[in-house]
Chains A and B, each alone.
Chain A
Amino acid sequence: MKTYGFFLRLFLILLTALTLFACGGMYSAAPEAPASTDQPAAEEIPPTQFVSTALPNTGGGESVIPTLPPAIPERRRITLEFPPQIRAGDSDIVRLTLEVDDLGNLTPTAEVGGNLVTGETVEIPNLYETHNVIAEARFDIAGMQVSPSGLASQPLSQGQSVSFYWSIRPDGVGVYRGTVWLYLRFRERSSGAESQKAVSAQPVEIEAVNFLGLSGDLARSFGVVGSIAGTVIGFPFLEDIVRFFFRRQKRK
């Protein structure tokens, strides 16, 4: 009877141990199951985030193909040219240029599993091939006449620069503060879907000044008239010259 009880307890202990071992093994094996197949992991990645590219195998295990979103394949720079000081009543030009930066070196880079791979083999899909890119610019400044006043647009092509010009005229003396905005509008060629992105917003401060209370036009007008009058009045030999001409006419 004692022997029967001993075996019964041994059987129960073994059964409990096997059950715990099986449950533990099952739970520990659970995370490994998806890792054995790449399909579930690939489905979790958003499709807009990656596009296949031809990256060489870096060695060690399976070859992982990283993908990059379409982008403008060039480095550009914005050049803003404006007068920080302007004569009151005069007009001037503000120029904004989005040009290709020839000095910029674009090095495509991809990070795969913690290893940084840098080289020329990462092909970034060209955004110009899939989208119409439009550069839009606006110059907002209070108290000053700006032409054109609204949003100006120009198509942006690969490797080409675009320039925007505004004519400005301050109404009076003072400091005028404004912002030059530059946007990029992307219009997908296949679907026509549009999206806009603000690229730059540069604050601008322009001071309108006068000279002795005179605006630019008045100063130039008074300058011309005053120069003639001052020359005539202050000419030292004017009287002698006039007398010389009068005498000559009398002799004739």
Chain B
Amino acid sequence: MSRRIRIFLGVVLLAISISLLIWGFAPTRREIRTQPIAPNEMQLPYLIESVS
């Protein structure tokens, strides 16, 4: 009986620990955003003002 309890506790502890390890070492998801920039958005500021 004590052997069964010991095995049960060991399996539960192992399951929780492996869950913690998986969560702790899992790579984080990364979000990538891409925004195109036209050349006229990189002009000199005073030139843009004078044109408008």
Contact = CB atoms under 8 A, between A and B. Distances in A.
Interface of A: 46, 48-49, 69-87, 90, 92, 98, 101, 104, 106, 124, 127, 131, 184, 186, 195-197, 199-200, 202, 211-212, 214, 216, 219-220, 222-227, 229-236, 239
Interface in B26-52: 28-47, 50-51
B11 to A, nearest CB: 5
Nearest to B27: A83
B13 A226 contact: yes
Contacts of B21: 219-220, 223-224, 227
A220 to B, nearest CB: 4
Nearest to B6: A233
Contacts, number: 159
Given A48-B46, A77-B34, A196-B45, A220 B17 contact: no
Size category of the binding interface on chain B: 35 or more
26 contacts: A49-B51, A70-B47, A72-B42, A75-B39, A76-B37, A77-B36, A78-B33, A78-B34, A79-B35, A81-B30, A81-B33, A87-B28, A127-B44, A186-B44, A195-B45, A199-B37, A199-B42, A202-B33, A219-B21, A220-B24, A223-B18, A224-B17, A226-B16, A227-B14, A233-B6, A233-B9
A223 B37 contact: no
Contacts of B20: 211-212, 214, 219-220, 222-223, 226
